[in-house]
Amino acid sequence: MRGNKVPTEEIKRDPAAFADRVTADGRFGRSAEAGRYRLVINRACPWAHRTVIVRRLMGLEGAISLAVTDPRQEIIEGDPHWVFTEETGSPGGLDPVLGIHALREAYLARDPGYDGGVSVPGLVDVTTGHLATNDYDRLCLDLATEWGPLTRKDAPDLYPEALRAEIEEVGAEVYRDLNNGVYRAGFAPDQARYDRAVAGVFARLDDLEARLSTRRYLVGESLTLADIRLFTTLVRFDPVYHGHFKCNIAKLTEYPALWAYARDLFQTPGFGDTTHFDHIRVHYYWVHTAINPTRIVAAGPDPQGWLTPHGREGLGGSPFGKGAAPGPVPADERVPGIS
């Protein structure tokens, strides 16, 4: 996420700087071991949120510990950085497991000469302090398919082999026009590029509205990675993308099928219980000073609507397929709920 720099060109996302894969058999050099890795995230970030949802649905909380950075990034040597603070449960501003203040320290432990950007999520090898990967997409895929016996026995199949081509096809369209499209609109350097980006956002929302009017989930009859990829953008749409990123042609709540679909997911274990609306609003409005120089954090919208009945059960399907819902959220990972 960009911070205090005024955009001069259209936002472009660089490939992940570090993309080690962690698998049950260690065939790429890193093996899945309980307690070896720590997942560093920020609850405001949609890309990090994906990994938290997958980790929870697969029952990997006991195998991979979680570290949460402050939603207000700290400026270090002129750039905004993800840091640990007392406010987010890190005594003395140091992560209690890794012993670092800023995630970039794990990047530099891996490569002392690294001078690129620092992003969440970051999977850090606790044994060395080195960043293993910041490739959120590959990390989600591997958490869903490669952690073998460390996943819970009744975990859902989030990436069924027979549906993978369709999951990736839908995901590519959603990423281009919506996941990344809201950023291209929000950080557009001129009117023409904003107009193109915002038109793409709402064209994709219109297509999704039609698709989800007749089916409960994006691909197949149960949850897949396609739904997780979409949800983390939808849940941020009205709180930050609609106003802060000028994606204000319509609100999510004005799309009957999409709004019901989003509520259905939110009320499913793993989705709403990993969503922290305060962190979302505070991060976007406080950090992006190029488009909100006053750092005034918007008060709304009221999140109560997320708990209203969605009526999607009539479309068939079941969230976890042949699996079952995950258990309760670990006590030290709970986020403020909606009352």
For strand 22-23 and strand 64-68, is the pairing parallel, antiparallel, or unpaired? unpaired
Q: What percent of the chain has pLDDT over 70?
A: 97
State both tokens at 233: 């953008």
Mean pLDDT of the chain: 96
Task: Summarize pLDDT for 182-198 with one digit per residue, the tens.
Answer: 999 999 999 999 999 99
Q: Angle 301-278-87 (CA atoms, 0-180°, nearest 5)?
A: 165
For residue 268, pLDDT over 80 is answered with yes
Contact predicate 237/227, CB 8 Å: no
Half-sphere exposure at residue 66, Cβ-oriented, CA atoms within 13 angstroms: 25
Task: Determine the pLDDT at residue 13.
Answer: 75
When pLDDT is averaged across residues 83-88 and rounded to a whole number, the result is 96
For residue 217, pLDDT over 50 is answered with yes
Which is catalytic among the residues 37, 107, 183, 241? 183
Task: Determine the pLDDT at residue 2.
Answer: 43
User: Alpha-carbon distance 69 to 71, whole Å?
Assistant: 6
Q: Which CATH architecture has domain 22-150?
A: 3-Layer(aba) Sandwich (3.40)
Task: Determine the pLDDT at residue 256.
Answer: 98
The per-residue DSSP string of 8-73 comes to -S---PPPPS-B--EETT-TTSEE--TTTEEEEE-TT-HHHHHHHHHHHHTT-TTTEEEEE--SS-
Q: Give the CATH class of 161-320.
A: mainly alpha
Our answer to whether residue 183 is catalytic in this structure is yes
Task: Determine the pLDDT at residue 107.
Answer: 98
Q: Where are the beta strands (DSSP E) in the chain?
A: 22-23, 30-31, 37-41, 64-68, 74-76, 79-81, 122-125, 130-133
- pLDDT tier at 9, thresholds 50, 70, 90: low
Helix 256-266 and helix 191-211, axial crossing angle in degrees, nearest 10: 80
Domains of the chain by residue range = 22-150, 161-320
When pLDDT is averaged across residues 41-69 and rounded to a whole number, the result is 98
- pLDDT tier at 1, thresholds 50, 70, 90: very low
Position 97: which residue type?
A: V
- pLDDT tier at 339, thresholds 50, 70, 90: low
Taking the complete model, does pTM exceed 0.75, yes or no? yes
